[in-house]
Amino acid sequence: MSNKLWLNNYPAGMPADIDPDVFTSIPDLLASLATKYADKPAYHNLGRTLSYADLARLSRDFAAFLQSLPGLDKGDRVAIMAPNLLQYPIALFGILQAGMTVVNVNPLYTPRELEHQLKDSGAKVIVILENFASILQQVLANTPVRHVITSQLGDLLPAPKRWLVNLLVKKVKKMVPAWHIEGAIDFRSALARGAAAALRPVLLTREDIAFLQYTGGTTGVSKGAMLTHRNILANLEQTGVWISGSFKEGTEIVIAPLPMYHIFCLTSTLSFMKWGSLIVLITNPRDLPGLVKELGRWKFSVLTGVNTLFNGLLNAPGFERLDFSALKVVVGGGAAVQKPVAERWQQVTGCAITEAYGLTETSPGACCVPLGAAWNGSIGLPIPSTEMSIRDRDFNELPVWTGVGDIERHTGEICIRGPQVMKGYWNHPQETAKVMQDGWLKTGDIGHVDSNGYFTITDRIKDMILVSGFNVYPSEIESVIAAHPGVLECGAVGVPDPKSGEALKVVIVRKDANLSRDDVIAHCKLHLTGYKIPRHVEFRDALPKTPIGKVLRRMLA
């Protein structure tokens, strides 16, 4: 939109643009932070805190170890498959310092999903929590991975706590299925070997790829969005300037319950680091009593989350008795924050949820509600150095919605342009061409913009289903269920759900008259991550279809 009418409603002092080139690379940023905040706490998890100097030293050691492995060069992909642990930021910054590219992997992936991502990315190395090593073992031979680095849950804790935690996880709770991977190296040994090795300087440019962040698309094929160092650094500046108005350097405490493998948590944690903040990593946010207990240990000033997490906390015993006196910023993303949740949250905590909007392809921040603003159903205003536009099917820009007339004439696809927009999809030029035009990213989200510059989402072009902030693609679900011998045909669709925003519903035409809901769920659990398991299973005699035989998903809901 050429006139950028949203600038008229920017908070006081908010710049229209940011400088995306303050740093040349993410390691350049870390080096600056390690110098400025050397003794300040950077990350905390399971009772241990790393300072910014600790983080720089350990990630340097991991980088030197990676460079010592045979067959690895600048730009090679290294996967991380773990929950939020201190090992994660060490490995992440280490990979980038070695001049390589991070491939974030959901640790709940099934063997089929893991194999696809490792093969598509061409990852040569994987860092994996041994709880998931048995999954890797099943597919390793079919992937390009040649080096496996395994870690135990308590590896970064001091002895004897480290031994006790690892013993408890493995022998008492039996959370580590038996596995054997020839030549696997443990994380602590990797750090020790790296500490004794030299780190070769790597010349990184802003256009080098920092992350292959996997997401889906209209076809349901999982693709790696190529996010450059400049994309990420620009988004740190953009989101940082928007939310940091009251931040004080070296004093903020950020609670990070969302997984670092998800783009929302990944970029927000890096953004908060710019103020020398302490990031408290939550390993298992599903344990709400444990999360409430952890929150009670801190006078936290920042919390990131999704609607389902906020709703869960509001209904968790003891949450309302926590000390919220230091709370400055609560950012909700990943999925729309529902009005009842937003209103109750502000009533209980005294702090409004700031709703943010973005995509994996935009690193992810693109649009945000001003801090402290009450819920209004919109996704807010484009953040600095970001252009947003509503386009019709022929890519013509549509006029703003003034509140009168037919709103459909003002409703189209939301398109985004800015320094945070991805380079494209890894090895998928045709998929890239579908979503990129003249520097604009076509989001697949349908909405309108009002005369104050506020954007509102009303629907999605894509059949994508959003379950608790995670993308679920109907074609993937359908292909898995259709493989069951008792299924003739099926269709998948999202239906409204008060807890997860949307829930997955599948409609099935049986081949075997005895096929039951339990049979379908059991089959899905073998091949799909938990959030992709259908909540609703319905059996019909036939599916609604177009004249050419395509299932009409919209009629299944």
| Residue range 22-31+49-204 in CATH 3.40.190.10 | no
CB 47 within 8 A of CB 161: yes
> Tokens at residue 544, please?
């609604």
- The rounded distance, in Å, linking the Cα atoms of 524 and 246 is 47
Estimate to the nearest angstrom the gap between the alpha carbon of 252 and the chain centroid.
Answer: 22
* Cβ–Cβ under 8 Å, residues 206 and 230: yes
Here the tokens at position 169 are 């996880």
**440 strand-pairing partners:** 437
CA angle 292, 337, 332 (to 5 degrees): 60
The answer to whether 124 and 145 are in contact (CB under 8 A) is: yes
Helices 307-314 & 339-349 angle (0-180, nearest 10): 50
Supply φ then ψ for residue 6, to 5 degrees.
-65, -25
**Token pair listed for 93:** 């910054």
* Rounded-to-integer distance, Cα 78 and Cα 186, Å: 16
> What's the confidence (pLDDT) of residue 185?
98
Q: Which residue, among 212, 100, 85, has the nearest Cα to 155 in the 3D structure?
A: 85
Ranges of the chain whose pLDDT falls below 50: 217-219, 547-549
**One-letter amino acid for residue 378 of the chain:** S
Q: Bridge partners of 493?
A: 505
Residue 267 backbone dihedrals phi, psi, to 5 degrees: -75, -35
Handedness of CA 426, 429, 435, 440 (dihedral sign): positive
- Which of 362, 555, 384 is closest to 10 using CA atoms? 384
**In contact, 275 and 244? CB cutoff 8 Å:** yes
Q: Which of 135, 149, 157 minimizes the C-alpha distance to 95?
A: 149
CA distance 78 to 64: 14
Give kind and range of the element (H or E) at residue 332.
strand 329-332
Task: For the chain, give the mean pLDDT.
Answer: 93
Residue 399 structure tokens: 């006029």
Of the candidates 37, 57, 83, the one whose C-alpha atom is nearest the C-alpha of residue 277 is: 37
**Which residues does 278 contact at the CB level (< 8 Å), separation at least 6?**
40, 41, 42, 43, 44, 49, 252, 253, 254
Q: Is 71 left (phi over 0), alpha (psi -120 to 50) or beta?
A: left
The one-letter code for the residue type at 184 is A
Return the axis-axis angle of helices 263-273 and 229-243, rounded to nearest 10°: 70
Superfamily assignment of 374-460 in CATH? Luciferase; Domain 3 (2.30.38.10)
Q: How far apart are CA 178 and CA 132, in angstroms?
A: 10
**Which residues 6+ apart lie within 8 Å of 362 measured at CB?**
235, 416, 418, 420, 421, 422, 441
Question: Residue 459: what pLDDT?
Answer: 65
**Top CATH class, 465-555:** alpha beta
Structure tokens given for 68: 């010592």
Other CB atoms within 10 Å distance of the CB of residue 172: 9
- Of 104, 89, 71, the closest CA to residue 27 belongs to 89
Chain Cα centroid distance, residue 527 = 21
CB within 8 Å of 197: residues ≥ 6 apart: 64, 65, 67, 68
Does residue 283 contact residue 256 with C-beta atoms inside 8 Å? Answer: no
| 3-class state of residue 144 by DSSP | coil
Phi, psi of 462 (to 5 degrees): -70, 155
* Cβ atoms of 421 and 361 closer than 8 Å: yes
In the chain, where are the structural domains located? Answer: 22-31+49-204, 374-460, 465-555
Kindly state the helix (H) or strand (E) to which residue 341 belongs, with its residue range: helix 339-349
Give pLDDT tens digits for 147-180. Answer: 999 999 999 999 999 999 999 999 999 999 999 9
Q: Residue 376 corresponds to which tokens in the numbers above?
A: 């209004």
Mapping DSSP to helix (H, G, I), strand (E, B) and coil, where does residue 449 land? strand
| Cβ neighbours of residue 547 closer than 8 Å, sequence gap 6 or more | none
Structure tokens at 283: 């390993």
| pTM for the model | 0.87
Query: What pLDDT does residue 547 have?
Result: 45
CB 431 within 8 A of CB 425: yes
User: Position of tokens 């256009």?
Assistant: 207
pLDDT at 340: 81
* The residue type at 2: S
Farthest-apart Cα atoms in the chain, separation: 70
Alpha-carbon span 24 to 206, nearest angstrom: 5
Which one-letter amino acid corresponds to residue 533? I
Reading the block at residue 340, the tokens are 């009842």
Whole-number CA gyration radius for the chain: 23
